[in-house]
Structure 1
């Protein structure tokens, strides 16, 4: 339930997998009530492709794909939760029509507001009525969460009432999303074969650039949502749900073992120690660039060049990528430090100097 709450708050498309009758729909309705968001329930088994792609009609001599009523209600509300229920009962043609809805929030010629969240629910195909496996393109657009219930929690719910969704505690960190993407990028430099691993058959979460972006967003939100073991469990649920077990477990283990220095410490102390491993240096520079971009100050931007100069003396290829990212984020009025003169070969290799 915590993972679902974080996914909805972060506007990550998510699907709940569980047996029939385990309260998935009720939980989503309760979460919408807690967040003050209207919930539109769309059941896949009773829909046609035109319910998502739009019904072609003639208007002013042109063909217009008219959206269904549920889409116009969400657009009028300005925000809400689109709950796609019984997804594995939707035939392949309907699943194909859902692709733009899940990824682009587009229904026919109507663009849903960006604040409309997408939540889906599905029974495993063997438990669904006339069940179908999810197509790989649709599965790759969602974070997959296993919805399980225990006998103790059900008994407690009947006795004392079922627990409401937890309130969201979020302290936004402007550098968080960029830092999380930098860490994912550093990991994929070490494990490039995990950038894309298309499954041969039916699958849930699997690694692709799209799902790594979902995983990075989830990591950033769990950093600011809470700390401790609870946040680590939620982070694991979301990351594994995005990229699958094999890639997710490996990334989480790598992330846990990084032990990176704080960007502010590195910017304040030019002699602060740097990691020895190349993947950690990539992660450090990515975090520093994200911090400097969020800070927006000329002073921190100029001090970051000193750090890049230190890295360039040992691993110039790593410094080149950071130099490119830092150069395009130059604040107004920032003066290039003399350190940049020492980086001329690096800047040339990064395409920043003739």
Structure 2
């Protein structure tokens, strides 16, 4: 898969997973054409908002005095998206938007709020920017705004342009991309959490220069986005390069490559395997046990059945016998999600001290 095919596939995956994305690339290279074509493929109405010609009030709302107080009226583009109840908001030319406009965009990207209007959850956000050196009167992207986006580097090749002229500039198969389930997202978060236990210094790495702070860097927010990207990739059987582009686009190259390498070497049994065979072999490393139990509990909570909840305790008890500190967090989460009518299995008694300390057992 060529570089730009990877980026197009990553963009389609991010849109379905509701990850806000920023495409970095030179002017005139087809970013807008691709986003608009993707929106058509996904049957989403699209609103293109050019940052360089907007004012802060176009995002924070224009104050209007009413009898009951002041209302921050949203612009027409936001009202159209709200009326459609879904769609794609394309924020173009971010680096030519002034710092004041970038600041006003923060709530739009993070909270989907435009003035006093909250955009529906089905509205997706994609942005585009030229590197400041290629943008007329360009500014570096502010760190708070950059940390709310997955950054993808847009490249162009003659073959891509030729195909785009004939077949359009969307992404092949974009309409077939599925959103990740809550179970997959919870399992991916558990794996990222296990990785961060091993590398706690990567939880937050604030860049020390404006250039670096305007791109992707690790924070709790971006690690969550990385986990959602991993879940989306698993849900669609995506190419490894596509998932890697999104993970690196969320947390940066150094942290992203390290996390992907760690995840590639996990080699954990599936939760269903552990539930059906409580004596199945368990990994001996603490980080892998954290990832394993996190995925198991996420699966059981999503399943919601009494049977899987009761059987999961046998696995947690086995881990607790050797490494109780690893089992503690998963035991607390499992106990807090007890299905109605589920009985307390005998294996749970070994964890009674842990559960009592958490206030989850008398």
Residue in structure 2 matching 1:209, options 206, 213, 220: 220
Please report how far the alpha carbon of residue 345 of structure 1 lies from its aligned counterpart in structure 2 after TM superposition: 2.5
Do residues 150 (structure 1) and 161 (structure 2) align?
no
- 1:165 matched residue in structure 2: 171
Which runs of 5 or more structure 2 residues have no equivalent in the other structure? 1-7
The alignment covers a number of residue pairs equal to: 350
Task: Answer yes or no: is the 8 Å Cα contact 2:216–2:249 preserved in 1.
Answer: yes
Do residues 342 (structure 1) and 353 (structure 2) align?
no
Do residues 123 (structure 1) and 130 (structure 2) align?
yes
- 2:43 matched residue in structure 1: 36
Deviating runs (4+, > 4 A) in structure 1?
Answer: 171-174
- 2:277 matched residue in structure 1: 269
Partners of 1:337 and 1:217 in 2: CA distance: 33
Task: Answer yes or no: is the 8 Å Cα contact 2:59–2:114 preserved in 1.
Answer: yes
Do residues 218 (structure 1) and 229 (structure 2) align?
yes
Determine helix, strand or coil for the equivalent of 2:267: coil
Please report how far the alpha carbon of residue 181 of structure 1 lies from its aligned counterpart in structure 2 after TM superposition: 0.7
Correspondence 1:249-264 to 2 at 5 A: 249-264=257-272
Correspondence 1:231-242 to 2 at 5 A: 232-242=240-250
Task: Answer yes or no: is the 8 Å Cα contact 2:94–2:127 preserved in 1.
Answer: yes
CA deviation vs aligned residue, 1:92-138 (integer Å, no higher than 9, x gap) = 00000000000000000111111111100000000001000000000
Determine helix, strand or coil for the equivalent of 1:284: helix
Please report how far the alpha carbon of residue 164 of structure 1 lies from its aligned counterpart in structure 2 after TM superposition: 3.3
Partners of 1:246 and 1:351 in 2: CA distance: 40
Task: Answer yes or no: is the 8 Å Cα contact 1:88–1:122 preserved in 2.
Answer: yes
Residue in structure 2 matching 1:295, options 292, 300, 303: 303
Please report how far the alpha carbon of residue 349 of structure 1 lies from its aligned counterpart in structure 2 after TM superposition: 4.3
- 1:327 matched residue in structure 2: 335
Please report how far the alpha carbon of residue 352 of structure 1 lies from its aligned counterpart in structure 2 after TM superposition: 2.9
Partners of 2:163 and 2:246 in 1: CA distance: 27
- 2:256 matched residue in structure 1: 248
Task: Answer yes or no: is the 8 Å Cα contact 1:323–1:350 preserved in 2.
Answer: no
| C-alpha spacing 1:292/1:348, structure 2 compared with 1 (3 Å) | same
CA deviation vs aligned residue, 1:37-69 (integer Å, no higher than 9, x gap) = 111111111111011001111111511111111
CA deviation vs aligned residue, 1:282-312 (integer Å, no higher than 9, x gap) = 0010111011112111011001111111001
Determine helix, strand or coil for the equivalent of 2:356: helix
Partners of 2:155 and 2:358 in 1: CA distance: 50
Task: Answer yes or no: is the 8 Å Cα contact 2:94–2:129 preserved in 1.
Answer: yes
Which 10-residue stretch deviates more, 61-70 or 184-193? Answer: 61-70
Residue in structure 2 matching 1:4, options 11, 14, 17: 11
Determine helix, strand or coil for the equivalent of 1:175: helix
Partners of 2:182 and 2:192 in 1: CA distance: 17
| C-alpha spacing 1:110/1:326, structure 2 compared with 1 (3 Å) | same
Partners of 1:269 and 1:161 in 2: CA distance: 50
Partners of 1:200 and 1:172 in 2: CA distance: 34
- 2:66 matched residue in structure 1: 59
Which TM-score applies when normalising by structure 2?
Answer: 0.94
Please report how far the alpha carbon of residue 169 of structure 1 lies from its aligned counterpart in structure 2 after TM superposition: 3.3
RMSD: 1.4
Task: Answer yes or no: is the 8 Å Cα contact 1:320–1:349 preserved in 2.
Answer: no
Task: Answer yes or no: is the 8 Å Cα contact 1:170–1:226 preserved in 2.
Answer: no
CA deviation vs aligned residue, 1:163-212 (integer Å, no higher than 9, x gap) = 53222333854520110111111111111111111111223111111111
Which TM-score applies when normalising by structure 1?
Answer: 0.96
